[in-house]
Structure 1
Amino acid sequence: MKVAFSNIFYFTTGTAVVIVMLVTTLLMTLIMILVWRCHWIIVLIFTGLSLVVECTYFSAVLLKVNQGGWVPLVIAAAFYIIMYVWHYGTAKRYETELHSKVSMAWILGLGPSLGLVRVPGIGLVYSELASGVPHIFSHFITNLPALHSVVVFVCVKYLPVHKVPEEERFLVKRIGPKSFHMFRCVARYGYQDHHKKDTDFEKKLFDSLFLFIRLESLMEGCSDSDVSSLLGEETAQSDNILVKSNDNSPHSNLGNTVSSSDSIVLANSSSHANNRISEIEMDELEFLNNCRDIGVVHILGNTAVKARRDSKFYKKIAIDYIYAFLRKICRENSAIFNVPQESLLNVGQILYV
């Protein structure tokens, strides 16, 4: 009995080491290809040499299966099933959310009020989608009578890079017309950045939002000024041609007077347009600051995933039992996103995959 247990312990330890080495080699290969972008010859040489050594050890363990080598194989198979079900359920959930996005035509058809009462405040709607309006938002506005004056869809994405610079952390985009006051913000992190330790996440998000509004107004002002400058140059060129052709005529001074008056009118119109844009920018920034001072609410989707009725029995077991159990014992999204509990709002929804 003592010898049997020692053999089982020996082969369990050996097989575990071999499996860890195999997984490490495969992950290292992915890092070399996707992150480091090494040449395919270097990747092939590294993978080949590693697999020669590891497969030698693995074949030695397989020859001793009847002496206790089956135990680590069963443990490895169990862990593989758990990881595969988790990956499968997560991919199916994301695919379902991606295909059930709310169309912009439906959002625009609701009008600036979105068919609800817009109350003062800012709502941060967390989603895994980096584009489009998530289906959880339509579920939210069809079941609640009111919505915040400003809505920001927040998406946290991890990129295959070492670290993302702070100035490139957030990507902000407007959704719909300005009267809707809806934005999308994608927060990007590298594999060594820790979002949970980012205590100033909310402040940085609003700073990026305010910067986006200023840059948007600046781009609109630049386009207007470019058009006015081009018009001014064309008018000046035509007036100069007129003056040169009629240089000896008594109406030459009249041409100079007309060109100078046109440039003054264009300059005044350009300055009035820039002043109007700056006023609109200040009004929107003041509106966002007031809504921020009133309160910020973090809206998270508490999505439950279930298999369809016509699904196979093994899919029902994987989704309804194994994946549901894994979701239950994992950390909640509020802990992952470091959301304060006093300003948290969970919206429940069931997705059938």
Structure 2
Amino acid sequence: MLACLFITLGFKNTVKIGNAYGIVVVFVMCLTSAYLVLVMIILWKTHILFIFAYILIIGSVELAYLSSILYKLGEGGYLPLAFALYLMSVMYTWNYVHRRKYHYETEHKVSIEEVREIVASTSFQRLPGVALFYSELAHAVPPIFKHYVANIPALHSVLVFVSVRSMPVSKVPIKEQFHFRRVQPTDLPVFTCMVHFGYDDVLREEEVFEDVLVVKLRQFLWEYYGIDVVLANGNEVDEAWSDGIIHFMAEHELEAEEGASIFRRIFIHSYKVLKIALVASFSICLNKKCLE
């Protein structure tokens, strides 16, 4: 409401406001058509001739319409473009720092040999239950695990490193939602899990994420290792499941390295501000229960 008031006071007449609104409408039309082309290519797998026909017919009309109002940019039409540039800078900052964080996790991931040594070590106290470590690494052990064992000399009966990915499709078939791998040798109760969800996928009301994950883990043991491994490890998984499930989520503290450019420092500080704003605005919800 305050933004509308400031815009009205700044423009002082409806002509400039109308120009800004007209620019927005036409740009939205053009962007919608452009995104529809992407949908036709990626999701619908439309024949290339139909795509070219759509671009020639619809695109030519909308570009002609757009070119006819570009002269209004200096008469109020610059306002929506300024808003768009601001939002693009916010999204680019978030994406840039997020990618840098992912590269850091990739470069500092824990090797399989280190995991074997840690799990096989007798210096750790064994705790009942299943431990789920969440990260963005696909079928890899994140740095949080090494940090965890360095500060807490205890390991749970079963360890699962989970990465949840949102796919650019509406629904992912149930059989393809959970992908497990086992850390060798097979006598170690350590697994990695990739979870794929579409943007329309939701768990049913009676389902709980960790329960579904454990069921899929038992199915994985049955399909890939046979009845002997299921009898030996399936019981271990069931016992750990009944003892409880613990969730571990990493919280990264980002800092600019020494000698970093001023632009990189601005990106990191802007990312921190955005993250604080998001944390303050939203509660973290897990299995439809908000953790305040």
When normalised by structure 1's length, the TM-score is 0.71
Would you say the 8 A contact 1:189–1:195 is kept in 2? no
Say if 1:11 and 1:46 are closer, same or farther in 2 by CA, change over 3 A. same
Q: Deviations over 1:43-74 (max 9, x none)?
A: 33323444333333433333123322222221
Q: Work out which of the residue numbers 303, 314, 323 in structure 1 matches 2:263.
A: 314
Superposed displacement of residue 177, structure 1: 1.9
State whether structure 2 residue 217 is matched by structure 1 residue 209.
Answer: yes
* Structure 2 counterpart of 1:24: 32
Would you say the 8 A contact 1:123–1:148 is kept in 2? yes
Between the aligned residues of both structures, percent identity stands at 30
The separation in 2 between residues aligned to 1:334 and 1:118, in whole angstroms, is 33
Give the 5 Å matches for 1:39-78.
Answer: 39-78=47-86
Would you say the 8 A contact 1:4–1:68 is kept in 2? no
Would you say the 8 A contact 2:167–2:196 is kept in 1? yes
AA partner of residue 89 (structure 1) = V
The separation in 2 between residues aligned to 1:48 and 1:194, in whole angstroms, is 39
Superposed displacement of residue 4, structure 1: 4.6
* Structure 1 counterpart of 2:272: 324
Secondary structure of residue in 2 paired with 1:306: coil
When normalised by structure 2's length, the TM-score is 0.84
Say if 1:158 and 1:111 are closer, same or farther in 2 by CA, change over 3 A. closer
Would you say the 8 A contact 2:126–2:155 is kept in 1? yes
The separation in 1 between residues aligned to 2:285 and 2:87, in whole angstroms, is 24
Q: Deviations over 1:131-180 (max 9, x none)?
A: 22112211221222112121111111222333122233211211122332
State whether structure 2 residue 181 is matched by structure 1 residue 177.
Answer: no
AA partner of residue 275 (structure 2) = R
Superposed displacement of residue 292, structure 1: 1.4
* Structure 1 counterpart of 2:90: 82
Say if 1:64 and 1:160 are closer, same or farther in 2 by CA, change over 3 A. closer
* Structure 2 counterpart of 1:108: 116
* Structure 1 counterpart of 2:23: 15
Segments of 5+ residues of structure 2 without an aligned counterpart are: 1-7
Give the 5 Å matches for 1:1-353.
Answer: 4-113=12-121, 116-194=124-202, 199-218=207-226, 278=228, 281-320=230-269, 322-330=270-278, 335=284, 337-338=286-287
Would you say the 8 A contact 2:21–2:77 is kept in 1? no
- Greater alpha carbon shift after TM alignment, 58-67 vs 170-179: 58-67
The separation in 2 between residues aligned to 1:43 and 1:36, in whole angstroms, is 11
Say if 1:199 and 1:18 are closer, same or farther in 2 by CA, change over 3 A. farther
The separation in 2 between residues aligned to 1:186 and 1:49, in whole angstroms, is 43
The separation in 2 between residues aligned to 1:96 and 1:282, in whole angstroms, is 39
Q: Kindly indicate which of the two structures has a greater share of residues assigned to helix.
A: 1
**Larger Cα Rg: Structure 1 or Structure 2?**
1
The separation in 2 between residues aligned to 1:319 and 1:47, in whole angstroms, is 39
Secondary structure of residue in 2 paired with 1:24: helix
- Greater alpha carbon shift after TM alignment, 168-177 vs 52-61: 52-61
Superposed displacement of residue 182, structure 1: 0.5
The separation in 2 between residues aligned to 1:133 and 1:145, in whole angstroms, is 18
Segments of 5+ residues of structure 1 without an aligned counterpart are: 219-276, 345-353
Give the CA RMSD over aligned residues: 2.9
AA partner of residue 328 (structure 1) = I
